[in-house]
Homo-oligomer: A and B are copies of this chain.
Amino acid sequence: MTDLLPDPDSSDNPGGPTPSYHMDPDEFRRHGYALIDWLANYMETVGERQVMPGVEPGDIAASIPATAPEKPERFEDLIGDLDKVVMPGITHWQSPGWFAYYPATTSGPSILGELVSAGLGVQGMLWSTSPAATEIESRVTDWLVDLLGLPAAWRNRTGPGGGVLQSSASDSTHLIHVVARERATAGQNDRPAFVAYTSAQAHSSVEKGARVAGIEHFRAIDVDENLSLDPEALRAAITADRDAGLTPLIVTSVVGTTGTAAIDPIAAISKIASDESLWHHVDAAYGGSAMICPELRHLQEGAALADSYTFNPHKWMFTNFDCNVLWVADRASLIDAMSITPPYLRNAASESGKVIDYRDWQVPLGRRFRALKLWWVLRSYGAEGIRHHLGEYIRLTQAVAAKIEQHDHLALTAPVHFGLVCFHHRSGNEATDALLNEINRVPNIYLTGSSLGSERFIRLSIGSTSTTAEAVDRLWGIIDRAAST
CA gap between A321 and B133 in the complex, in Å: 14
Partner of A29, one of B40, B86, B205, B417: B40
CA gap between A340 and B174 in the complex, in Å: 14
Determine how many copies of this chain the complex contains.
Answer: 2
Whether A299 lies near B2 (C-beta < 8 A) is yes
Whether A68 lies near B115 (C-beta < 8 A) is no
Across the interface, which residues of B come within 8 angstroms of A7, CB to CB?
A: 395
**Chain A contact residues: helix, strand, loop or mixed:** helix
CA gap between A38 and B295 in the complex, in Å: 41
Whether A58 lies near B354 (C-beta < 8 A) is yes
Instruction: Tell me whether A171 and B364 are in contact in the complex, defined as CB-CB below 8 angstroms, given that A181-B214, A320-B121 are known contacts.
Output: yes
Whether A119 lies near B171 (C-beta < 8 A) is no
CA gap between A130 and B127 in the complex, in Å: 36
Across the interface, which residues of B come within 8 angstroms of A28, CB to CB?
A: 36, 39-40, 43, 108, 111-112
Q: Could you mark each residue 381-409 of chain A with 1 if its beta carbon is under 8 Å from any beta carbon of chain B, else 0? A: 11111101101101100100110000000
Whether A322 lies near B368 (C-beta < 8 A) is yes
A216-241 interface (Cβ within 8 A of B): 216
Across the interface, which residues of B come within 8 angstroms of A128, CB to CB?
A: 52, 91
CB-based nearest B residue for A399: B7
Across the interface, which residues of B come within 8 angstroms of A121, CB to CB?
A: 93-94, 104-106, 111, 320-321
CB-based nearest B residue for A87: B132
Across the interface, which residues of B come within 8 angstroms of A418, CB to CB?
A: 3
CA gap between A206 and B64 in the complex, in Å: 35
Instruction: Tell me whether A1 and B363 are in contact in the complex, defined as CB-CB below 8 angstroms, given that A32-B39, A71-B384, A368-B321 are known contacts.
Output: no
9 other contacts beyond A60-B136, A68-B144, A114-B115, with CB at 8 A cut-off?
A3-B295, A5-B395, A21-B388, A39-B116, A87-B132, A88-B132, A101-B129, A171-B363, A203-B365
CA gap between A88 and B218 in the complex, in Å: 48
A376 at interface (Cβ–Cβ under 8 A)?
A: yes
Whether A293 lies near B5 (C-beta < 8 A) is yes
A154, chain B: closest CB distance, angstroms: 14
Whether A29 lies near B37 (C-beta < 8 A) is yes
- Chain A residues with a Cβ closer than 8 Å to the other chain, count: 178
Whether B106 lies near A111 (C-beta < 8 A) is no
Whether B115 lies near A5 (C-beta < 8 A) is no
Whether B132 lies near A60 (C-beta < 8 A) is yes
CA gap between A181 and B213 in the complex, in Å: 11
Across the interface, which residues of B come within 8 angstroms of A107, CB to CB?
A: 22-23
A16 at interface (Cβ–Cβ under 8 A)?
A: no
Whether A118 lies near B110 (C-beta < 8 A) is yes
A79-134 interface (Cβ within 8 A of B): 82, 85-94, 101, 104-112, 114-116, 118-123, 127-133
A433 at interface (Cβ–Cβ under 8 A)?
A: no
Across the interface, which residues of B come within 8 angstroms of A343, CB to CB?
A: 259, 450-451
A187 at interface (Cβ–Cβ under 8 A)?
A: no
